[in-house]
Chains A and B, each alone.
Chain A
Amino acid sequence: MRSIEHQDPTMTNQMAGEMAVLEIDSLVRRFGGLAALRQVSFAVNAHEVLGIIGPNGAGKTTLINVIGGIYPPTSGRILFQGRDITELPAHLRCRLGIARTFQIVRPVQGLNLLQNIMVGSLFGRGASLKEARSQSLGICQFMGLSRVDRAIAKLTVLEIKKMEIARALSTQPRILLLDEVMAGLNVDETREMIDLVRQVCAQGVTVCIIEHVMSVIRELTERVIVLDHGEKIAQGPYEEVSRDPRVIGAYLGEEE
């Protein structure tokens, strides 16, 4: 039912007070003549896990990039904890508490596993080297990452994916944007990852998750929004949304 309350994000702000961590208001992003996002509005509530789904090319990653500040929206507003951050550069958004992972993993090759994670702590939180090291070691333990002085080339796919999440967590975010972290993992690994995301959420971090694997979405999220051709076509609990004829139409020809 919450989904209905949040139809108008500007209203949400007044009504729900501190409930919404992140509010997206009529976001548009064009690349040349191509509209990757068209008038997308929604809100993310504190402590929820929100799923963002949609067929390939629906604009999911563009959405994350705009929220993260990689590039500005063509029009529209982004509010974080009630504050307008539309004009804020990426590094300041991170320091406010927005962290993300990348769909195609982006480890920093010149740094080892632990050092990669420390980057978030050092610059996202402004920690000292010593603090960053101990905090990152703690996160590694939490994530089940061992032998932390290995080079990136020596890591498995799962470990690199975990490293991405660990680097995001080390900035101590209020909200974590996960861009297809399950892609390329086997069943057991996916299981492990789902548990990790649950634990992250239990620590009070709000999570937005883009995912193609629908079983993950079903299991993790309370609510999803569906994008198609840059437009939000549905939102609500997964079970409800998956029966929506528009959503089924959008996915026609895709695997689910």
Chain B
Amino acid sequence: MAFPLYAGVYLQHTATIILTYLCLALSWDMLVRTGQISFGVAGFFGIGAYSAALTALNLKLDPLLSIAVGGLAAMAAALVLGLTTLQLRGMYFAITTLALTEIFRVIVRNLPGLTGGPEGTVLPSAIFDGDPTKTYWLLLAIALVTIAISEAFQRTRVYFAITSIRHDEMVARSSGLDIFKYAVFVFAVTSAIQGIVGASFAQQYAFVSPEGTFDIDFTLLPIAMCLLGGMHSTLGPIIGALVLGSVAEYLKLQLPYGHLLVYGAVITLVILLMPQGVAGKMKEQFVREQ
């Protein structure tokens, strides 16, 4: 994990990006474990980014503190949205989140006095004065916390709750489980993670804009990573993020228009050919050989 310290700036930069996507992928997967899909990752990422940038700029908040504010803002948005829309789960929720990113973008564009409008807002300086090593450590810390939360979700009563909800809501309800409470809780936690990641991204580049910050990349890549690695575990999204994350930068250079095609194809093909993902496939093989 400490290898990028001895590597060049470029590798450090790549590692930071991979960690960014790793957090997003893992947080997306945590919600999927409750049976809900969110297509709004980029939306919460963007809320976090804007909240951090604006509080740092206008309230002169410490960059690290502003990142926490970004997480809280995304969590607040998720709570408001979850408390209303998670009453109907499944496709209703999924499609509502599909519009989220665009909705937040519209709001940001229409409040130029606060957000800088379509042109975005520039911060005077990047976090840690742009030191790539420190940025790497920051993202590594966030990633470790995310992994810890994901593992907590796999080992505590939350695991029993979300697995029951995903497989059979009727059994869950009849066993005394408050589905709505757990769905909102997981949605709020995962959105907070996405907000924090977005906030640190904004602090890292010292710039937010409706198009660049609410970029569909931040929704699409995490989904493709989880599917490739395998859903419903901590390991799957990590594997997916490492594999796809390391080719993502290369693809972006090679295919500036349409590198996202690869991720769309990955999603489609994995669903059709290998719904359990790479990690799931390996686990299956392992069980079979035993």
Chain A positions near chain B (C-beta within 8 angstroms) = 68-70, 89-92, 94-95, 99-100, 102, 106, 108-111, 115, 118-120, 122-126, 128-129, 132, 167, 171
Majority-rule SS of B interface residues: helix
List of B residues within 8 angstroms of A115 by Cβ = 160
Residue of A nearest to B167 (CB): A108
Q: Cα distance A120–B172 when bound, in Å?
A: 8
Closest to B157 in A: A122
A119 touches B177 (CB 8 A): yes
For B160, give its contact among A89, A90, A111 (CB under 8 Å): A111
- Interface contact A106-B168, CB-CB below 8 Å: yes
27 A-B contact pairs sorted by A residue (CB < 8 Å): A69-B173, A69-B174, A89-B173, A90-B173, A91-B176, A91-B177, A94-B173, A94-B176, A106-B171, A108-B168, A108-B171, A110-B163, A111-B167, A119-B160, A119-B172, A119-B177, A123-B157, A123-B160, A123-B161, A124-B176, A125-B176, A126-B176, A129-B157, A132-B157, A167-B171, A167-B175, A171-B176
User: Cα distance A122–B173 when bound, in Å?
Assistant: 12
Q: Find residues 139-197 in chain B having any chain A CB closer than 8 Å to their own CB.
A: 156-157, 160-161, 163-164, 166-168, 170-179
Query: A129 contacts B173, CB within 8 Å?
Result: no
B163 partner, pick from A100, A106, A111, A128, beta carbons under 8 A: A111
One of B160, B167, B177, B179 near A109 (C-beta < 8 A): B167
Contacts of A167 in B (CB 8 A): 171, 175
A114 to chain B, nearest CB (A): 11
B177 cross-chain contacts in A, Cβ below 8 A = 91, 119, 123
- Does B166 contact A120, Cβ atoms closer than 8 Å? no
In the complex, chain B residues whose CB is within 8 Å of the CB of A124: 175-176
For the complex, give the distance between the alpha carbons of A68 and B178 in Å.
Answer: 14
Which listed residue (B175, B178, B179) contacts A119, Cβ 8 A? Answer: B175
Which listed residue, B160, B168, B175, B232, touches A171 by the CB 8 Å rule? B175
CB-CB under 8 A for A91 and B178, given A122-B160, A123-B161, A129-B156? yes
Q: Are B160 and A118 in contact (CB under 8 A)?
A: yes
Nearest chain B CB to A208 CB, angstrom units: 14
- Chain A residues positioned under 8 Å from B232 (CB to CB): 110
Closest to A105 in B: B171
Closest to B232 in A: A110
Q: Which residue of chain B has its CB nearest to the CB of A101?
A: B174
Chain A residues in 8 Å Cβ range of B178: 91, 123
Of B163, B164, B176, B179, the most chain A CB neighbours within 10 A belong to B176
Q: Name the B residues within 8 Å of A91 (CB-CB).
A: 172-179
Which residue in chain A gives the minimum CB-CB distance to B181? Answer: A91
From B160, B174, B177, B179, name the one whose CB has the most chain A CB atoms within 10 angstroms: B174
Which residue of the partner chain A has the closest CB to B163? A110
Contact B160 A70 (CB under 8 A): no
